[in-house]
Structure 1
Amino acid sequence: MIDPAAMTASPFPEQALPDWRRAVLKVGSSLLAADGGGLSPRHALGLAQFVSANVLAGREVVIVSSGAVAAGRAILPRVEAAGAAMAARQALAALGQAQLIGLWQRFFERPVAQVLLTHDDLRNRRRYLNARATLNELLRLGALPVVNENDTVSVDELKLGDNDNLAATVAALVDADVLFIATDIDGLYSADPRRDASAQPIPQVQELTADVLAMAGGSGSSAGTGGMRTKLEAASKAARLGIETILFNGRNGDVVRALAQGRLHGTRLHASQSREAARKYWLRHAPVEPGVIWIDDGAVQAMRGKGASLLPGGITGADGEFRRGDMVEIRCRPGAGGGEASVARGVTQYAASDIRRIAGRHSRDIEAALGYNYGGNVVHRDDLVLV
């Protein structure tokens, strides 16, 4: 049965969604918390149907979901909602994670995978690459990743609003085209509509200026602490990476159903440039580590002519002591590739010491040579730029 409140018309005019192939959907605690404690499927069902409709259409979705602390509080209600000790809130998060994943799994026939991240995981380049490889593999296998901050080991004060910024980082991590943020209001207004009756809806934002950020209000519910400002900060981070952000009311059933049909009643925050252009710019200008990966003429031709990844078979050696996840220059020996020494730069999946051991080998022999492997590419084509 549809909640009559969910049939309320949106004050935001209809507009088309941007084309997308892969997206991150961020769902906050206010959409999952039950009035009496714990989690409720009331709004999650419609969002799950949105995900399913797009997966059936051949798209990919990663969910970033809050709600673990709210779920844990239903199991141990004696822990106070406000001012709880850090250890107690971490215990609630640990108790609630299983409940949160169980809530999402009930809506999908495909397997749901829990992925817990911390900001340290995303700042450390090697762990960042591990997380990206795991998420990409889960999507390839047809699973639905559900990401949450690993609050049980976080050393910072728990702020569920941080999941807005986490969602923007995950969108960059998986090379998403768009970031959907489901919230409990209709979109961005010129002022907080709950306090200012004259607040006007803002359907589109071309650039996130200081004036736009000033429109953000505070938190709207007791379940989460993320207000509109954290959502705009996340949108700003995504925009710099070429990712558009969509703000919409996850409590409005009509809005969510229209979203599954490519129609938005909410706010569209445009990216400053294309996703590809933003990534290529970063690859071209990020500082490189000391060291070089040396390649042969065949690898030069494959990378330049076919846009191929760099495989170990085309590598002749490596200088320096760079590590997995470092930005490294890729060169060919004098006389190869038309005599040009510098060919490309990219993020390496293997350390210099590993590359020296697998140089010239077939990708299938990597594990036999090293005892482990991070995939058949030394530098994936999405992680390199020709120079």
Structure 2
Amino acid sequence: MKKSKRIVIKIGSALIAPEQDGCRSRYLLSIAQFIVRCRTRGIEVILVSSGSVAAGSHLFPNTENATIAVKKAMAAAGQTEMMATWDRFFDFPSAQILLTHGDLRDRERYTSIRETIFTLLDHGILPIINENDTVTTDDLKVGDNDNLSAMVAAAADADTLIICSDVKGLYNKNPNLHADAELIPEVTVITEEIYDMAGCPTSKVGTGGMKTKIEAAEKAISHGIDTFIVNGFEETTFDLLLAGNNPGTVFLASETPMQEAVHWMTHTASEQGELVVEDDYDMSDEHAVLSGESITEVKGEFSVGDTVLVRSEDGTRLAKATTNYSSCLLNFLAEQDESPISEKIQDSIGPVISEQDIALLEKS
């Protein structure tokens, strides 16, 4: 934290509306003071705040069996209350940014989001970001604000991500069930063993458990962002952070972070279709391009500029990439018999995927 210049802090629903009867300042005051103290030290802050549904639920009866439409209405009503609550704590301006995964996975909109965040920070305005639950659909939603906060941290070129939880950090076993559970203060590499330590969600209000927090940490550290999982319910957490101490679990940033465009393609953009290539096709060549001759099958419907998954015939996920051609054209070419016309088309077509638009995936 002492070296941080720009941080993202993620707050969950249980901190915003612990009793689901509107926003409460019980836990938010110490978080707001932390934000103020960071800004006083010259640290830029971006706040990712859940809680709109929880904040607005008290305005609707029978919320336990609420329909999707009612939950969206809760989000609409609760979002204004949540923003008003945050605004009450600060003597500087704040700005609301509501996002869906559809906004983040579209490169043009993603770039626009980056520019908006940078402009707000340049003018001393606190960006407060939440998923747009009022309009999002299953196809467009991120689903949890842990992963959203990691995507935002990457988009904002932050150097630190702080995810507030209801436990101190990652334990080797569930601390709510095992008295001998031990806190893991530092993680350098996220492995399957680390994921196995993640328990189920314990909060009745939030949607993200420890697993989503580790997923978020994995996204963030691959972009060079140190990530803390801390207990947001304890005031001492934020004093320790400001003092340069670790109050929970820190996931250390990769020493060789991904470039911004590659990170976006790997961790934010979702594939719209698949290109199946021959099993012996080598995607690891740094000058690799994907030509039509190497593709054995085209799956799904996608347009020029969409992100697609490249996999081998045996099912191995090789890469995510931006396609230069639509699925319609690629299928058309695949269906053509060898003829002078089809040969001319094949000869004139450029690479389906260019080398600068490929993000290799680690083989599991």
Same fold (TM over 0.5): yes
Structure 1 partner of 2:43: 59
Q: Which of 121, 130, 148 is equivalent to 1:148? A: 130
Instruction: State how far apart, in whole Å, the 2-side matches of 1:254 and 1:244 are.
Output: 20
- 1:23-172 matches, cutoff 5 A: 23-35=7-19, 37-76=21-60, 78-81=61-64, 83-156=65-138, 162-172=144-154
Deviation (angstroms), 1:156? 1.6
The answer to whether the aligner puts 1:223 opposite 2:223 as a matched pair is no
Structure 2 partner of 1:372: none
CA pair 24-195 structure 1, distance change in 2 beyond 3 A: same
Instruction: State how far apart, in whole Å, the 1-side matches of 2:79 and 2:58 are.
Output: 12
Q: Are the equivalent residues in 2 in contact too, given 1:159–1:225 (CA < 8 A)? A: no
Q: Are the equivalent residues in 2 in contact too, given 1:69–1:93 (CA < 8 A)? A: yes
Aligned residues: 269
Q: Are the equivalent residues in 2 in contact too, given 1:79–1:88 (CA < 8 A)? A: no
Q: Are the equivalent residues in 2 in contact too, given 1:21–1:60 (CA < 8 A)? A: yes
Structure 1 partner of 2:258: 278
User: Normalized against structure 2, the TM-score is what?
Assistant: 0.70
Deviation (angstroms), 1:159? 8.4
Structure 2 partner of 1:366: none
Instruction: State how far apart, in whole Å, the 1-side matches of 2:247 and 2:165 are.
Output: 13
Deviation (angstroms), 1:325? 12
The answer for unaligned runs of 5 or more in structure 2 is 267-303, 308-364
SS at match of 2:48: strand
- 1:335-374 matches, cutoff 5 A: none
Q: Are the equivalent residues in 1 in contact too, given 2:100–2:141 (CA < 8 A)? A: no
Deviations 1:38-89 (A, max 9, x none): 111111111111111110111101000000001111222x0413x4211110
Letter matched to residue 60 of structure 1: E
Q: Are the equivalent residues in 1 in contact too, given 2:20–2:54 (CA < 8 A)? A: no
The answer for unaligned runs of 5 or more in structure 1 is 1-16, 287-322, 327-387
Structure 2 partner of 1:310: none
CA pair 212-252 structure 1, distance change in 2 beyond 3 A: same
Letter matched to residue 190 of structure 1: N
Deviations 1:278-314 (A, max 9, x none): 327949x99xxxxxxxxxxxxxxxxxxxxxxxxxxxx
> Which deviates further from its counterpart, 257-266 or 150-159?
150-159
Structure 1 partner of 2:217: 235
Letter matched to residue 25 of structure 2: P
Deviations 1:254-298 (A, max 9, x none): 122222232221100012225xx5327949x99xxxxxxxxxxxx
Q: Are the equivalent residues in 2 in contact too, given 1:160–1:226 (CA < 8 A)? A: no
Deviation (angstroms), 1:198? 1.9
Instruction: State how far apart, in whole Å, the 2-side matches of 1:71 and 1:33 are.
Output: 6
Instruction: State how far apart, in whole Å, the 1-side matches of 2:143 and 2:247 are.
Output: 23
SS at match of 1:52: helix
Instruction: State how far apart, in whole Å, the 2-side matches of 1:225 and 1:158 are.
Output: 17
Q: Are the equivalent residues in 2 in contact too, given 1:249–1:256 (CA < 8 A)? A: no
Q: Are the equivalent residues in 1 in contact too, given 2:185–2:246 (CA < 8 A)? A: no
Deviation (angstroms), 1:199? 1.1
Q: Are the equivalent residues in 1 in contact too, given 2:20–2:55 (CA < 8 A)? A: no
Deviation (angstroms), 1:219? 1.0
Instruction: State how far apart, in whole Å, the 1-side matches of 2:2 and 2:186 are.
Output: 12
Q: Are the equivalent residues in 1 in contact too, given 2:160–2:227 (CA < 8 A)? A: yes
CA pair 207-95 structure 1, distance change in 2 beyond 3 A: same
Structure 2 partner of 1:196: 178
Instruction: State how far apart, in whole Å, the 1-side matches of 2:141 and 2:259 are.
Output: 29
Give the percent of matched residue pairs that are identical in Structure 1 and Structure 2: 43
SS at match of 1:221: coil
CA pair 235-18 structure 1, distance change in 2 beyond 3 A: farther
Deviation (angstroms), 1:35? 2.2
Q: Are the equivalent residues in 1 in contact too, given 2:225–2:253 (CA < 8 A)? A: yes
Structure 1 partner of 2:238: 256
Deviation (angstroms), 1:104? 0.7
Q: Are the equivalent residues in 2 in contact too, given 1:29–1:66 (CA < 8 A)? A: yes
Instruction: State how far apart, in whole Å, the 2-side matches of 1:79 and 1:243 are.
Output: 42
> Root-mean-square deviation (CA), in Å?
2.5
> Which deviates further from its counterpart, 153-162 or 238-247?
153-162
Deviations 1:305-337 (A, max 9, x none): xxxxxxxxxxxxxxxxxx9999xxxxxxxxxxx
Deviation (angstroms), 1:158? 10
Letter matched to residue 50 of structure 2: S
Letter matched to residue 278 of structure 1: M
Q: Are the equivalent residues in 1 in contact too, given 2:2–2:243 (CA < 8 A)? A: no
